[in-house]
A and B are shown apart, each in its own frame.
Chain A
Amino acid sequence: MNAISSIGQPAAFDPRRYRADFPLLARQVHGKPLVYFDNANTAQKPQAVIDAVSRYYSKYNANVARAVHTLGEEATTAYEAVRDKLARFVNAPSRDEIVFTGGTTQAINTVAYSFALPRLKPGDEILVTTMEHHANIVPWQLVCARTGAKLKVAPITASGELIVERFVELLTPQVKLACVVHVSNVLGTINPVRELARACRGRGIPLLVDGSQAAPHLPIDVQALGCDFYALTGHKLYGPTGTGMLWARREWLEEMPPFFGGGEMIRTVSFDGTTFADPPHKFEAGTPNIAGFIGLGAALDYVEAIGRGAISAYEHELLDYATAALRGIPGLRLFGEAADKAAVLSFLIDGIHAHDLATLLDHEGVAVRSGHHCAHPLMQFFGVPATARASLAFYNTRDEVDRFVDAIGRVRKLLG
């Protein structure tokens, strides 16, 4: 929690207070202090998360939901508590609407195979946007290939904003599902999900929101957003990899047949037939990533203790600082200049390939991503093969932005 100063105002957000919680941030790369600007790829983990995983394995490792012994009870209690935490984290009406998944990709595929595949027919359509991650494109292409449905794409502007009027116009009666990213992993654009959901609901079209990149940056309230499905991943949220969540309205979860079959998801099994457990367990076959989810629970506690409003406000301030600094670099082109955006900066420098830039920045201790960021159609839209991307988190500092900008200056001197 932020300390309250003597005049009753929250103390200024000081990222250095939190950096010490992340052991990895203390390491050096190529003899330089690490500047970790690849948070949109995966975030670093606080000690609390590492400890929670370690404590599970060293103190109460057992399978969940089947053992009556003490270890099994302890593991199940800790694991199921994370469902409550996630329900609070996204303000779901019920914990039973939280399906544990291996990440966003699995969450979206669950909707593709359990919701879309059985419902869609030839002539039906699925609407996505130009700025989707491959995880919110490819599952729908697979569904289209098997059902004869068609994928439609809502366009964006040159500054990387969804053209809302076009999106709404494209919500024709043939559209049986709309899918939109909450925050673009390449552009940082925050999409007006409430407005989009209102338009979808008015036409009886279910809306899926890919919240992978939004969850670390914004408070999420699925009820206020008004969507039907919300997917997120744990590892971008300072939790372990292999964890994630699908939230869906209860009526959909009840209607959807299971996607994976196996243990954990059944009520009774005989060779004459099987009855399934109620949602969410019907979608959770097999032994899950118990340690990972317990770690995710610790990550949610950690983030909530700092406060998502405070994180969001500080990151926004850091984004403004970094944006101004990058704009001052000659020959640098920014991709994604939406009015409402999260702390993601995609860019290219004239005459320098993104990969060379990333390799040389790495030698300066600065970790950025280069490539297509799993968004080929978006790269095609901008007419570039790849970009470099700096993505910031609340533990990053202005000093790190300065070092990043200085390092770019040295790369330009070398390759320019």
Chain B
Amino acid sequence: MDATALYTQCVLDHQRAPRNFGRLEGHTHAADGANPLCGDSLRMELACVDGRIAALRFDGAACAVATATASMLGEMAVGRSIEQIGELEARFSALVNGVVGRDDVLADLNAMSALAKHPSRRKCALLAFATLRAALAGSRSATTEGNS
């Protein structure tokens, strides 16, 4: 399957063995992300200390793209502030929209650059960011699907 640049070993590895998977006892923030059209759902639970993410866990039932992105993002989120997560999301958005081909700051998340050629799957990857942002902002839920 040479055309499947999206399903790289890196993505498959994060999908098969997602990092920080599960629930976080004593979390201070949480949100549920759902894309009902796709049938993707993610829950993110965080512990924030002094405006920074001290710990993060996620779980849910979602496609490989959404799960792998959540796993990669979880690894990077710890230690960052809300503002820094916002900056990361802007960089990630530029990557999946094909504005940049690679961004070293994004580490493993660069695996999602193939989404530049899969516009219909971008919302899957963006769900993890939207859910994390919702949790940090104190809203309970998030989606990256328009109304339908």
Which chain A residues have a beta carbon within 8 Å of chain B's beta carbons? 30-31, 353-356, 359-360, 363-364, 371-372, 376, 379, 384-386, 410, 414-415
Do residues B3 and A30 form an inter-chain contact, with CB atoms below 8 A?
yes
Chain B residue contacts of A379, Cβ below 8 A: 39
A236 to B: closest C-beta gap in Å: 19
A385–B33 Cα gap in the complex (Å)?
Answer: 14
Residue of A nearest to B2 (CB): A363
Do residues A371 and B39 form an inter-chain contact, with CB atoms below 8 A?
yes
Chain B residue contacts of A371, Cβ below 8 A: 37-39
A311–B85 Cα gap in the complex (Å)?
Answer: 56
Which chain B residues have a beta carbon within 8 Å of chain A's beta carbons? 1, 3-4, 6-7, 12, 15, 36-41, 61-65, 118, 121, 124
Residue of A nearest to B61 (CB): A385
* 12 interchain pairs, CB-CB under 8 A: A353-B40, A353-B61, A353-B63, A353-B64, A354-B63, A355-B40, A355-B63, A355-B121, A363-B4, A372-B39, A385-B39, A414-B12
Residue of B nearest to A360 (CB): B4
A386–B39 Cα gap in the complex (Å)?
Answer: 5
Residue of B nearest to A354 (CB): B39
Do residues A363 and B1 form an inter-chain contact, with CB atoms below 8 A?
yes
A384–B124 Cα gap in the complex (Å)?
Answer: 17
Residue of B nearest to A363 (CB): B3
Residue of A nearest to B37 (CB): A371
A360–B4 Cα gap in the complex (Å)?
Answer: 7
A349 to B: closest C-beta gap in Å: 13
A112 to B: closest C-beta gap in Å: 19
Q: Known contacts A355-B124, A371-B37, A415-B12; can you find 12 more A-B pairs with CB under 8 A?
A: A353-B62, A353-B63, A354-B39, A355-B63, A355-B65, A356-B63, A356-B65, A359-B4, A360-B4, A372-B36, A414-B4, A414-B12
Chain B residue contacts of A364, Cβ below 8 A: 1
Do residues A360 and B39 form an inter-chain contact, with CB atoms below 8 A?
no
A355–B37 Cα gap in the complex (Å)?
Answer: 10
A377 to B: closest C-beta gap in Å: 12
Main secondary structure, interface of A, reads helix
A241–B98 Cα gap in the complex (Å)?
Answer: 32
Known A385-B61, A414-B1, A414-B4; judge A359-B121 contact (CB<8 A).
yes
Do residues A415 and B64 form an inter-chain contact, with CB atoms below 8 A?
yes
Q: Which of A355, A356, A385, A410 contacts B1 (CB 8 A)?
A: A410
Closest 7 CB pairs of A and B: A385-B39, A386-B39, A353-B63, A363-B3, A355-B63, A356-B64, A30-B3
A356 to B: closest C-beta gap in Å: 5
Chain B residue contacts of A356, Cβ below 8 A: 7, 63-65
A385–B145 Cα gap in the complex (Å)?
Answer: 15
Do residues B41 and A385 form an inter-chain contact, with CB atoms below 8 A?
yes
B118 to A: closest C-beta gap in Å: 7
Chain B residue contacts of A410, Cβ below 8 A: 1
A355–B39 Cα gap in the complex (Å)?
Answer: 9
Residue of A nearest to B121 (CB): A359
Known A371-B37, A384-B39, A414-B1; judge A360-B7 contact (CB<8 A).
yes
Do residues A385 and B40 form an inter-chain contact, with CB atoms below 8 A?
yes
Known A353-B64, A355-B121, A356-B64; judge A376-B36 contact (CB<8 A).
yes
A359–B118 Cα gap in the complex (Å)?
Answer: 9
Chain A residue contacts of B118, Cβ below 8 A: 359
Chain B residue contacts of A353, Cβ below 8 A: 39-40, 61-64
Chain A residue contacts of B4, Cβ below 8 A: 359-360, 363, 414
Do residues B7 and A415 form an inter-chain contact, with CB atoms below 8 A?
yes
Residue of B nearest to A365 (CB): B3
Chain B residue contacts of A355, Cβ below 8 A: 38-40, 63, 65, 121, 124
A410–B1 Cα gap in the complex (Å)?
Answer: 8
Known A355-B63, A386-B38, A415-B64; judge A31-B121 contact (CB<8 A).
no
A384–B41 Cα gap in the complex (Å)?
Answer: 12
A372–B40 Cα gap in the complex (Å)?
Answer: 11
Known A353-B64, A414-B1, A415-B12; judge A359-B6 contact (CB<8 A).
yes
A414–B12 Cα gap in the complex (Å)?
Answer: 8
